[in-house]
Structure 1
Amino acid sequence: MKKLITAEDLTQIVSVSHPVYSPDGKKAVFTKVSVNEKKDDYNIHLWVRDEERGELSQWTFDDGKHHQPAWSKDGKQLAFILQKPKEVPQLALIQSDGGGIRTLTNIPYGVSQPVFSPDGAFIYAAVSLKQEESVHDEKKEERDDFAPAVYDDLTYKADGRGFLDGRLTQIVKIDVRSGEVEMVTSESHHHVNHVVSPCGKWLAYIQSNPQTFYISDICLLSLEDGTSKKITQSTGAYTTVSFSPNGESLLYIGHEREFENATFLSLWLHDLKEKKTVQLSEMLDMYVGNCMAGDSVMGEANQLPQWTKDSQGFYALVSDQGSTGIYYFSIEGLAYPVRLEAEHVTNFSLHPDESKMLISRLSPVSPSELYELTLGESSLKQITFEHDDFLKEHVISEPEPISFQSKEGDIVHGWLMKPAQMEEGKTYPLILEIHGGPHAMYGHTYFHEFQMLAAEGYAIVYINPHGSHGYGQMFTDRVRGSYGDVDYEDVMLAVDHVLEAYDFLDETRLGVTGGSYGGFMTNWIVGQTDRFRAAVTQRSISNWISFYGISDIGYFFTKWQIDGDIYDSVDKLWDRSPLKYVKQVNTPLLILHSDEDYRCPVDQGEQLFVALKELGKDTRLVKFPKASHDLSRSGHPGQRIQRLTFIQEWFREKLS
């Protein structure tokens, strides 16, 4: 008899990701992220596949996080970031022919993003420093918890990092033999996602001003004389940069903010000799990158495009219509899908002989595993089998695709997940799930929350309404300035569509939930209709006026998304605020919020709770201490289980 999935089963989910072939193609390293035995944190371990024997071996064992692996060009050394429990991350090395781990740095402020120089003599890495701090400090200064905090800048806090203290991300150069550390950058900017040119003479990176972090530039620094120059014009936002193998071109991913944060990421190619830039993906109305919403992927790394040896093309991730896969792009701008199936590819590595790839992949009925893809073939060879026993022992519900026409005439896509166990002639409650963003995408991935609810006896409908990625730039941009209009129509039409299409659904037992923007939509829905018998709002927005000043992104996000500000558009912000309609709420509402959520701060949930409670409405507030906006995806394992349990019990009580 197979078991039904529970909230606690979350601890059995392993993220297998970040494959990287060695330069000679004889080995491939990858990471496994799992919940530790105490269930209070995660372990990340390095595993290596011997490509000739097909054997897997574990290279790191102790508790902690061993990740961001990088091979030296000769393949003899593997650098990675080692973070022991309750310690800051440091740079470590391991020899590919065996031997123990050698910790190379002892920088009290931590290290990240290791990149080898072509000759293997140095590693370039990132360090977060205040102006008065040095990589040669022996320890951090003791913090006075009672000292006043003084801020002069607009950007003074960030979700997941808390209240900022003036630290900037700088690039350092570390001697592999001696461990000696030398500063490479020192400007009052952040310098991230650096790469070294094949000749070893140049460093490319993304630079941003901490006060306008939503604007960034691609920069090139000479490692010979220390001079630097901007490739871009301080008008866009960029995420990734890489050199072509011949060193003649810079490829970077980003956009020029034509639709602010709703703008699709694009591919840009800069000729270093001619100093000319072309947009390669201009005719491709797809999102370059991975924008999949989910709760079962942890420890993901930034995916660099993978160049072919002849420098005439490269492979990159692309998201489209609920799938995330791999496209090939030529430097002339031609593009075709290498693999774009009903699945979620998170990372990949191209073998040096260009015959195959290793990909980390999820499907709607399986968490992530590692697979081998032979180029030119459609079948996959599975490499890891982390979830075989889990999938054999449990009932997994497979979602069915749905589609319907919106009121504006567009086709809206989504899925209906049936209850894990069903009896003939019996009817079942339906829960509407709404993703965050709003510019994210539901799709063909494993979603543990959905599987748990299906095991509880619910059907789940989830769609990509207007505002979602994956359906073209205009579809994504449509929701800006009109939250609660066309998007509200879409999700309500989705409910109507499945109620008509599936006769086992009980239209009198409807639930709704979502997080972030999905939390806003949940709040909005219960203020507009009484159709739902129960609702759970998570890390939500209830008041755009207060959000403007208390969110780490409020002052620009509100302008971009609601098209208003607190100076000249207060009426518009209030009109789009769910709090305005609180007297109309009759649906029992559970409010889940993280205490240290600086993206959608906890006061958003508290304001809503106080108003509902004062009016005598059926509501409950649950706060998670020390948790951030990312609780459901990468938070404390115990709190993630508790969050799922609260959702489960609320719907169980209200929809029975």
Structure 2
Amino acid sequence: MTTFLRGEETPHPFTVHDLLAMDRISSPQVSPNGTQIVFAVRVTDLEENKGHTSLWLVNIDGTGLKRLTSHPANDWDPVWHPDGKTVYFLSTRSGSSQVWKISVEGGEAQQVTTLPLDVNHFLLSPDGKRLVLAMEVFVGTSPEETKKQLNEMENRKAKGRIYDRLFVRHWDTWMDGRRSHLFLLNSDGNGSPVDLMPGMDADCPSRPFGGREEFTFTPDSKGIVFTTKNVGSEEAWSTNFDLYHVTFENPEPRCLTQSNPAWDTMPVFSPDGKTLAYLAMSRPGYEADRFRVVLKAWPEGQSQVLTEAWDRSVKEMVWSKDGKKLFVTAEEIGQTALFAIDVKTGQVKRIWNKGTVQWPQVANNRIVFGLDHFCSPVELYSIRMDGKDFRAITQLNKEKLAKVKMGEPEQFSFPGWNDETVYGYIVKPVDFDPSQKYPVAFLIHGGPQGSFGNHFHYRWNPQVYAGRGYAVVMIDFHGSTGYGQAFTDAIQGDWGGKPLVDLQKGLEFVVKKYSWMDGNRVGALGASFGGYMINWIAGNWPDRFKCLVCHDGNLDEKMAYFDTDELWFPEWDHEGTPWTNPEGYEKHNPIRFADRWKTPMLVIHGAKDFRVAETQGLSTFTLLQRKGIPSKLLYFPDENHWVLKPHNSILWHDTVLDWLDQWLKEVN
């Protein structure tokens, strides 16, 4: 492994190299008796230009930390056997992704599955006798038949593909007809896998980001409940995910949520098996609608919404051991907080609201969760169910963090559009001196239904800019999440309206409030919607910034509709299609104001970005060059909407920071 940290004792300003050096915890799983946690840790290997993941084990009180697996291959997604003595996990040790198992006492891991296809996700049944596996197959074929067909396609001299419906490509992948299906297999790996989604031209887990939270065993281990979008040719513009129940005796899925045309997902059974909790939206075609908690008496009872009166969108949930509460996470005013919901009354109590909480789980009388914030990557913590006795479990990055200097974050609020309260964060530059004047990096988040909250980000981390001597400003404009659904909805049909006003008023506010910010030396940066906003700013706020950075942003909103993959997104935000509502695409279209562009801009784009097609970035650079505006293009042939490979991340950060330095620090 490559060593990132320098040998000096004196802490140094935080850089991209420190960002990559952090150990990244994921997938914590509490043991059946509530005394241990198994989790995955990813470290960055610069020589291989990728991450390496292994499994670790720790006691709930933080003692006994040890590495459970140390193979050169990746090990991830651990699951406890009900006996608490064995951990099942995914590994590429055999050359493909298969299920393996290992004793928590140590020893050699044993391979469980030897299937012809990669196992992408899996769960172990409550009785420990069955596995449910996710594999990509051609509909109506077995894993063996799919493998044979893939080999034939690879050897075929004609490489053309014929499509008769969307998607043609999705996120960063060209579609070839395969679907992610769930299969049943004995937990010892013997026998032939049985397709639990026979004939369904649909995926579970969903692509590209779904995981095992989208399916679960029934409490009797005799079936599963899963979510999928089975809508035929409307897939590219529908958000109608439904829950299905299938029994192993009769693997014919039965829809449980037919009456809801919007999104239903994340099924979780109560400890007594009598109630199914799940998340549901109410408005079809809107991916940023509020996720409400729904309770269904199992198996044939009615569904009732539990959290209709609570104006927060639930992200994750887990039952208490007595089945009286649900512990959930939700974004709230720049944090992702932990809450307890009474399942009888729907009453909500906040348990923890500092930083970004994820993966809540119950361990006897405590809640275990991951927590990160502006000044630390994810570590594991626990807290009592009444919100008291907060304790750290892991401190994997303690020594690394001790060797770096970070900027101090501070939340602020101001009267934004229509004088409504808008929140944001600043991060002070490293080695802050209030008597000095500092240039400003003005970061604009994507989504647009997203947030620059109190989170340790691996692509847009404000500490990298603070370490370079910049004051960092981030504003959660109208359309952001965590401030109530009406605030999120406010951006519909108004991409260049309310958000721009919030950004303008927010920047003016912080420059006046913080006298050490140099309002004459400000650069604006953004990706995705943030990239769109950079292009919108170029024509509608052209005199404010010394330089701009546009990463994967649309230049032409009308053409972007035909370039992108998921059509429900522009159809909701622009209130129709380009032919049913052309004005919805034109009124806030950056290309309309190209004649006003004059600010130097760095353009960045990835060739595998099918959400914002590379032609948008190339068009932006062409416009800049043709108008004689100082500009550069950083193009990644091997990245998608995000920059993920370590050396590409270093190049990205070096290029962006050098661009800012050129226009905000050097005398021009």
TM-score by length of 1: 0.92
- Identify the match of residue 444 of structure 1 among 454, 461, 466: 454
Residue 399 of structure 2 is aligned to residue 396 of structure 1: no
Given that residues 262 and 282 in structure 2 are in contact (C-alpha distance below 8 angstroms), is that contact kept between their aligned partners in structure 1?
A: yes
Alpha-carbon distance between aligned partners in 2 of 1:309 and 1:630, rounded to the nearest angstrom? 39
Alpha-carbon distance between aligned partners in 1 of 2:22 and 2:199, rounded to the nearest angstrom? 42
- Identify the match of residue 292 of structure 2 among 247, 251, 266: 266
1:132 deviation in Å?
6.0
What are the Cα deviations for residues 158-217 of structure 1, in whole angstroms up to 9, with x where unaligned?
Answer: 113x11011111111122234323212212222332211111122100021264262210
Partner of 1:135: 143
After superposition, the Cα gap between the structure-2 partners of 1:119 and 1:447, relative to the gap in structure 1 and judged at 3 Å, is: closer
1:573 deviation in Å?
1.6
Partner of 1:582: 594
After superposition, the Cα gap between the structure-2 partners of 1:39 and 1:573, relative to the gap in structure 1 and judged at 3 Å, is: same
Residue 522 of structure 2 is aligned to residue 510 of structure 1: yes
Given that residues 368 and 382 in structure 2 are in contact (C-alpha distance below 8 angstroms), is that contact kept between their aligned partners in structure 1?
A: yes
Given that residues 330 and 482 in structure 2 are in contact (C-alpha distance below 8 angstroms), is that contact kept between their aligned partners in structure 1?
A: no
Equivalences for 1:380-459 in 2 at 5 Å?
380-423=390-433, 425-447=435-457, 449-459=461-471
Residue 44 of structure 2 is aligned to residue 31 of structure 1: no
After superposition, the Cα gap between the structure-2 partners of 1:396 and 1:507, relative to the gap in structure 1 and judged at 3 Å, is: same
- Identify the match of residue 562 of structure 2 among 530, 549, 567: 549
Alpha-carbon distance between aligned partners in 2 of 1:197 and 1:535, rounded to the nearest angstrom? 52
Given that residues 479 and 490 in structure 2 are in contact (C-alpha distance below 8 angstroms), is that contact kept between their aligned partners in structure 1?
A: yes
Amino acid at match of 2:309: M
- Identify the match of residue 612 of structure 1 among 616, 620, 624: 624
Paired residue secondary structure (2:304)? strand
1:378 deviation in Å?
2.9
Residue 70 of structure 2 is aligned to residue 68 of structure 1: no
Residue 134 of structure 2 is aligned to residue 109 of structure 1: no
Given that residues 404 and 494 in structure 1 are in contact (C-alpha distance below 8 angstroms), is that contact kept between their aligned partners in structure 2?
A: yes
- Identify the match of residue 203 of structure 2 among 179, 185, 190: 190
Partner of 2:578: 566
Partner of 1:225: 250
Given that residues 2 and 395 in structure 1 are in contact (C-alpha distance below 8 angstroms), is that contact kept between their aligned partners in structure 2?
A: yes
Partner of 2:177: 166
Amino acid at match of 2:99: L
Residue 641 of structure 2 is aligned to residue 625 of structure 1: no
Partner of 1:215: 240
Paired residue secondary structure (1:261)? coil
Given that residues 323 and 340 in structure 1 are in contact (C-alpha distance below 8 angstroms), is that contact kept between their aligned partners in structure 2?
A: no
1:596 deviation in Å?
0.6
Residue 369 of structure 2 is aligned to residue 359 of structure 1: yes
Paired residue secondary structure (2:647)? helix
Alignment RMSD: 2.0
Equivalences for 1:469-548 in 2 at 5 Å?
469-529=481-541, 530-548=543-561
Given that residues 335 and 453 in structure 2 are in contact (C-alpha distance below 8 angstroms), is that contact kept between their aligned partners in structure 1?
A: yes
Equivalences for 1:290-309 in 2 at 5 Å?
303=316, 305-309=317-321
What are the Cα deviations for residues 223-247 of structure 1, in whole angstroms up to 9, with x where unaligned?
Answer: 2233432111250113311112222
1:336 deviation in Å?
2.7
Amino acid at match of 1:208: K
Residue 380 of structure 2 is aligned to residue 370 of structure 1: yes
Alpha-carbon distance between aligned partners in 2 of 1:150 and 1:72, rounded to the nearest angstrom? 44
After superposition, the Cα gap between the structure-2 partners of 1:103 and 1:145, relative to the gap in structure 1 and judged at 3 Å, is: farther
1:455 deviation in Å?
1.4
Partner of 2:211: none
Alpha-carbon distance between aligned partners in 2 of 1:146 and 1:611, rounded to the nearest angstrom? 37
Q: Which moved more, 1:315-324 or 1:477-486?
A: 315-324
1:333 deviation in Å?
4.0
Partner of 1:295: none
TM-score by length of 2: 0.91
Amino acid at match of 2:337: G
Q: Which moved more, 1:433-442 or 1:204-213?
A: 204-213
Alpha-carbon distance between aligned partners in 2 of 1:508 and 1:578, rounded to the nearest angstrom? 24
What are the Cα deviations for residues 134-159 of structure 1, in whole angstroms up to 9, with x where unaligned?
Answer: 22356641524751111111212111
What are the Cα deviations for residues 530-588 of structure 1, in whole angstroms up to 9, with x where unaligned?
Answer: 110011011111111211111111x3322111224222333442332212212211110
After superposition, the Cα gap between the structure-2 partners of 1:264 and 1:532, relative to the gap in structure 1 and judged at 3 Å, is: same
Alpha-carbon distance between aligned partners in 1 of 2:486 and 2:353, rounded to the nearest angstrom? 23
Amino acid at match of 2:556: N
Paired residue secondary structure (1:638)? helix
Given that residues 239 and 284 in structure 2 are in contact (C-alpha distance below 8 angstroms), is that contact kept between their aligned partners in structure 1?
A: no
Equivalences for 1:312-391 in 2 at 5 Å?
312-351=324-363, 353=364, 355-391=365-401
Amino acid at match of 1:311: G
After superposition, the Cα gap between the structure-2 partners of 1:407 and 1:37, relative to the gap in structure 1 and judged at 3 Å, is: closer
1:69 deviation in Å?
1.4
Residue 201 of structure 2 is aligned to residue 175 of structure 1: no
Equivalences for 1:195-210 in 2 at 5 Å?
195-209=216-230
Given that residues 197 and 252 in structure 2 are in contact (C-alpha distance below 8 angstroms), is that contact kept between their aligned partners in structure 1?
A: no
Q: Which moved more, 1:123-132 or 1:88-97?
A: 88-97
Paired residue secondary structure (1:200)? coil
Amino acid at match of 2:446: G
Given that residues 17 and 346 in structure 1 are in contact (C-alpha distance below 8 angstroms), is that contact kept between their aligned partners in structure 2?
A: no
1:398 deviation in Å?
1.5
Amino acid at match of 1:222: T
After superposition, the Cα gap between the structure-2 partners of 1:52 and 1:389, relative to the gap in structure 1 and judged at 3 Å, is: closer
Given that residues 440 and 470 in structure 2 are in contact (C-alpha distance below 8 angstroms), is that contact kept between their aligned partners in structure 1?
A: yes
Paired residue secondary structure (1:430)? strand
After superposition, the Cα gap between the structure-2 partners of 1:562 and 1:63, relative to the gap in structure 1 and judged at 3 Å, is: farther
Amino acid at match of 1:594: G
Partner of 1:296: none
After superposition, the Cα gap between the structure-2 partners of 1:249 and 1:375, relative to the gap in structure 1 and judged at 3 Å, is: closer
Amino acid at match of 2:246: L
Given that residues 430 and 509 in structure 1 are in contact (C-alpha distance below 8 angstroms), is that contact kept between their aligned partners in structure 2?
A: yes
Q: Which moved more, 1:444-453 or 1:481-490?
A: 444-453
Partner of 2:209: none
Given that residues 68 and 106 in structure 2 are in contact (C-alpha distance below 8 angstroms), is that contact kept between their aligned partners in structure 1?
A: no
After superposition, the Cα gap between the structure-2 partners of 1:562 and 1:84, relative to the gap in structure 1 and judged at 3 Å, is: farther
Alpha-carbon distance between aligned partners in 2 of 1:422 and 1:474, rounded to the nearest angstrom? 37
Given that residues 314 and 328 in structure 1 are in contact (C-alpha distance below 8 angstroms), is that contact kept between their aligned partners in structure 2?
A: yes
Amino acid at match of 2:248: L
Q: Which moved more, 1:486-495 or 1:71-80?
A: 71-80
Given that residues 536 and 589 in structure 1 are in contact (C-alpha distance below 8 angstroms), is that contact kept between their aligned partners in structure 2?
A: yes
Structure 2: state its 5+ residue gaps: 1-9, 206-213
After superposition, the Cα gap between the structure-2 partners of 1:181 and 1:274, relative to the gap in structure 1 and judged at 3 Å, is: closer
Alpha-carbon distance between aligned partners in 2 of 1:109 and 1:286, rounded to the nearest angstrom? 40
Alpha-carbon distance between aligned partners in 2 of 1:53 and 1:318, rounded to the nearest angstrom? 26
Q: Which moved more, 1:13-22 or 1:588-597?
A: 13-22
Alpha-carbon distance between aligned partners in 1 of 2:62 and 2:651, rounded to the nearest angstrom? 43
Q: Which moved more, 1:575-584 or 1:333-342?
A: 333-342
Aligned residues: 634
Alpha-carbon distance between aligned partners in 1 of 2:46 and 2:652, rounded to the nearest angstrom? 20
Paired residue secondary structure (1:33)? strand
